[in-house]
Amino acid sequence: MHSPDAPVPSEQPERFPMGEVEFVALLASIQALMALSIDVMLPALGRISNDLGVSDPNERQLIVGVFLICSGLASLFPGAIADRFGRRRVLLTAVSGYILLSLICAVSGSFTLLLIARGVAGAITSAMLVLPMAILRDRFDGDRMARTQSMIAMTFMVVPMIAPMVGQTVLLIASWRWIFGIMTVMGLVVFTWILLRLPETLKPEFRQPIQVRVIAGNMALALRERASFGYFFGAAFVQGALFGYINSAQQLVGEHFGAGMLFPAVFGGMALVMASTNFINSRIVEHFGARRVSHTALIAYIGLAALHLIVALNGENLWIFVPLMTLSMCMMSFIGANFQAISLQPFGRIAGAASSVMSFLRTVIGAVLGTLIGQAYDGTARPIMAAMAVCGTTALVLVLYSEGGRLFRRINPPGFYKNNPPPAAH
């Protein structure tokens, strides 16, 4: 029996078969498959909607929005399942679903069937959002976890950087359906990698029974933890603004600002800068602390959004929009990895359930907000900038709640290491 208030051990398992570089690369690749599901098809949204008879220009965004919403809704479950059966088995099942549904999308003959396949794909593959966080928490905690998460984010950001260019290249030589073929091949690569190299990271003594009362209790525990609550929801609001930009990026950057064929390069260049920011975060977070770095970035994010809104109200062009939006996205890099590490710190023994709650809130709230923001697109950057300012301010209020009104603390607040799952979970 574990003492409820004892700190969760953070030692790595002995003789872990993967070095840090491979470990980071694998977790990044799992998350990158989800990014690939979104970014690789951005240049093809117009072609898909034309081929499948979609008349409303904004309706094409549903190819992205439906995937994100279904992924978020379903993400409430994989963590609890993985807390019982282990991370590896659930991950392999999810990647198998990713492969199958990508093939179904490739042969879809109607827009309705494509949206259904995208929704099912989002639901089945939601484990690929949840479990990398749980696996990372199985091995590390605190600022070390934030540093490693930044390295993972830096690695998988290569996908948003090159995915639109890959999609654009496919469209030059083949049908948009081959984009889903590329997703199928990448899924097979990651499935094989997990099968051959990833061991089970869940400790046997941490396994939780599959009982509604236990699962609900673990999730309720995650939501009741004040030190995590504001970071769970704050991350969701910041991500919602990002999804809003992604949903309308092709229309805004490619069409309104006239980037045209340069859209993939512009989008990829912004992702490259975000990747660099994650690298910087991985270098500084253990020195300054995840709180100080992320709180500073959140305040800067709000200021940049307000400035950009003023610029947008007075008219702007591509060369004004890109630098300002890139700076805001850099702040998101400092916020995302650190919010994740802070929010999961108290939950070593129920990391799967806590990761599910975090992914559920972040993805569902983010996807719904992102869809609303995207559908509000009016041919300018104004709706996106206003949404970023509002979402950032909301996130700051939530963080202040978790921190008891004090920002920039280097030492964890009282009770931060509390880990007291319901008695039935033991």
What are the pLDDT digits (tens) for 182-198?
999 999 999 999 999 99
Q: Average of pLDDT values for 42-69?
A: 85
Nearest to 22 by CA among 198, 282, 175, 235: 198
Tell me the pLDDT band of 415, cut-offs 50, 70 and 90: very low
Tell me: pLDDT of 77 over 80.
yes
Mean pLDDT of the chain: 84
Q: Average of pLDDT values for 39-65?
A: 85
Tell me: pLDDT of 121 over 90.
yes
Q: Average of pLDDT values for 339-356?
A: 77
Q: Average of pLDDT values for 302-319?
A: 92
Residue 359: the pLDDT is: 78
Architecture of domain 20-425 in this structure: Up-down Bundle (1.20)
Tell me: pLDDT of 363 over 80.
no
Cα distance between the two ends of the chain:
7
Residue 248: the pLDDT is: 84
Tell me: pLDDT of 114 over 90.
yes
- How far is C-alpha 143 from the geometric centre of its chain's CA atoms? 19
- pLDDT, greater one: 175 or 133: 175
Percent of the chain predicted with pLDDT > 90: 35
Residue 351: the pLDDT is: 67
| Highest averaged pLDDT of the listed ranges 50-64, 156-170, 326-340 | 326-340
Residue 409: the pLDDT is: 78
Q: Average of pLDDT values for 417-423?
A: 39
Tell me the pLDDT band of 7, cut-offs 50, 70 and 90: very low
Question: What does pTM read for this prediction?
Answer: 0.69
- The mean-pLDDT minimum among 101-105, 215-219, 222-226 falls in 215-219
Residues 6+ apart with CB under 8 A from 343: 228, 231, 232, 235, 354, 358
- pLDDT, greater one: 387 or 345: 387
Nearest to 347 by CA among 220, 192, 199, 238: 220
The domain locations on the chain are 20-425
Q: Average of pLDDT values for 209-219?
A: 72
Residue 410: the pLDDT is: 64
- The mean-pLDDT minimum among 28-32, 322-326, 340-344 falls in 340-344
